[in-house]
Amino acid sequence: MKFHALIRHALAGLSRFLSLKPAVASISLLLLTASGCGSAFQNINILSDADEIALGREFSRQIEREVRLYTDPEVVRYIDELGQTLVRHSTRSNITYYIKVVDTDEVNAFALPGGYLYINRGLISIAGTESELAGVIGHEIGHVAARHGAKALTRQLGLEVILGMISGRNPTGVRRVASQLAGVGGILSMLHHSRQAEREADALAVVNLREAGYDPGGVTVFFEKLLEINDREPGALASLFATHPASRERVENTRKQIAALPALEGLVTDSERFRQIKNQLPPLEDNPLKNKKNDKEEQPVREH
Ligand SMILES: [Zn+2]
C-alpha cells in the first residue's frame, strides 16, 4: 500500500511534466466518456504490439539489472524449447517470446508485457512433472496472450503516461517512471493482475497445453501442490502468492474446464529430459516439498 501511494505521488508529479498532444487528450476523453466508469477503462488496451514490446523490453532491462539469470546452457535451452512449443500453440504466437531462468530458490514465475517471461529455478525444482512446469509457463504465456500486463500498466500509470513513454516525447518522464519502478518488486507490483486476469490466464494455459500435446492436468496438479505447501507452511511461497494467489477455486475451475474438453490420446505428462534437467539443478536450500511428512493423502491442519 505504501508503495502504491509512493507511485501515485510520483506519477502525479510526473503528469505535470507531460505535454499531451491534443489528439492524445481527446482519445483519453473519449475513452473516459465512453466507459463512464473505471471498470470498463481497466480493460482497455490501446497499445500496439510494437508499443507493448518496447515497454516490456524496458522493464526486462531493469529486471535483469537486479536479478541473476541462470545460465546453465542445457537448462536454458530446455526451458526455451518447452516455452516456444507452447507459444506456437498459443493464441498470440506472432510476437517473439524471451523465456529466461532466474537463478533463485524462490518459487515464482512472471511475465512482462510483450513476451518477456521469467521462470525461477526454484519453481522448476518443485515441479513434479513436465506438464506441471508447462502449466506454469502456459499460464504466463496466457498473461501475455491476453495482454494483461499492458492493461495493468495502462490502468496503473494512466493512458497519457503510457503514451508519453512510448512516443519518446518525454524521455525525462520515462526515466522518472523507470526510477520509481526500479526493481523487481516495483515492476511486479505494477503488473498485479486481477482475479479475473488470473482465471483467464489459467483457462488459456489449459487450452494451450492441450493444443501443444501436454496433459493440461499439469495446471491443476501444480496449483494443488502450491495449496498444499501453503497449508503446511504458510509464508513459504509468499512471493508467489503475492502475485499469483493459488486457491481452491482455481483448482476447481481448471479441473472442470479439462473435464469438459473431449478426450485426447497421447498427451505428454512427463519426460526423461525434464527429469534430467531437474536433477542437474542445485538442490534448494529450503525445499518446501521436503518437509512433507506423509503421502499426498495427508490432510494439512488449517490454522485460522
Ligand atoms: Zn498469473
pLDDT at 30: 30
Q: In this predicted model, which residue has the larger pLDDT, 180 or 112? A: 112
C-beta separation of 225 from 128 below 8 A: yes
* Segments making up each domain of the chain, as ranges: 2-6+43-280
Tell me, in angstroms, the distance from the centre of ligand 1 to residue 193's CA: 7
Tell me, in angstroms, the distance from the centre of ligand 1 to residue 16's CA: 33
Q: Work out the average pLDDT over 164-181.
A: 64
Query: How remote is the CA of residue 221 from the centroid of ligand 1, in Å?
Result: 16
CA of 139 to the centre of ligand 1 (A): 6
Above 90 in pLDDT, residue 154? no
* 61-86 average pLDDT score: 96
- Is pLDDT above 80 for 98? yes
Question: How far does residue 241's CA lie from ligand 1's centre (Å)?
Answer: 10
For residue 137, give the amino acid letter. I
User: Distance, CA 65 to ligand 1 centroid (Å)?
Assistant: 23
pLDDT: which is higher, 46 or 127:
127
Q: What is the DSSP string of 125-157?
A: HH--SHHHHHHHHHHHHHHHHTTHHHHHHHHHH
For ligand 1, the distance from its centroid to the CA atom of residue 51, given in whole angstroms, is 22
Give residue 303 CA to ligand 1 midpoint distance, Å.
Answer: 26
Ligand 1 centre to CA of 126 (Å) is: 18
> Ligand 1 centroid to 151 CA: how many Å?
14
231 in Cβ contact with 186 (< 8 Å):
no
Share of the chain above pLDDT 70, in %: 73
- Report the pLDDT value the prediction gives residue 46, as an integer from 0 to 100: 67
Higher pLDDT among residues 32 and 9, named by residue: 9
How remote is the CA of residue 244 from the centroid of ligand 1, in Å? 5
Provide the pLDDT for residue 240: 76
pLDDT digits (tens, 9 = 90+) for 227-274: 998 888 887 787 777 767 678 899 999 999 999 999 899 999 999 999
What is the average pLDDT across 129-138? 98
CA 54 to ligand 1 center in whole angstroms: 21
Output the CA 208–ligand 1 centroid distance in Å: 15
CA–centroid distance, 201 to ligand 1, in Å, is: 6
What confidence tens digit (pLDDT) does each residue in 21-34 have? 333 333 332 333 23
Q: When comparing pLDDT for 87 and 293, which is higher?
A: 87
pLDDT of residue 286: 85
What's the gap between Cα 17 and its chain centre? 31
How far is it, in rounded angstroms, from Cα 113 to Cα 201? 14
Written as nine digits, the cell of 34 is 465512453
**Collapsed DSSP state (helix, strand, coil) of residue 198:** helix
Ligand 1 centroid from CA 12, angstroms: 28
Please check the confidence at residue 146 and state whether its pLDDT lies above 50.
yes
109 Cα–ligand 1 center, Å: 9
Q: Provide mean pLDDT across the span 85-93.
A: 98
C-alpha to C-alpha distances, 232 to 17, 108, 219, 260, 267, nearest whole angstrom: 50, 18, 20, 31, 31
Measure 21 CA to ligand 1 centroid, in angstroms. 35
Does position 303 have pLDDT exceeding 50, yes or no?
A: no
* Cell digits of residue 271: 519426460
Q: Would residue 207 be called left, alpha or beta, if left means φ above 0 and alpha means ψ between -120 and 50 degrees?
A: alpha
- Residue 171 pLDDT level (bands cut at 50, 70, 90): low
Residue with cell 519502478: 181
pLDDT band at 114 (very low <50, low <70, confident <90, very high): very high
Query: Nearest CA to 109 among 52, 153, 70, 151?
Result: 70
Ligand 1 centre to CA of 188 (Å) is 11
Across residues 211-227, what is the average pLDDT?
Answer: 96
Residue 59: its pLDDT value, please?
Answer: 86
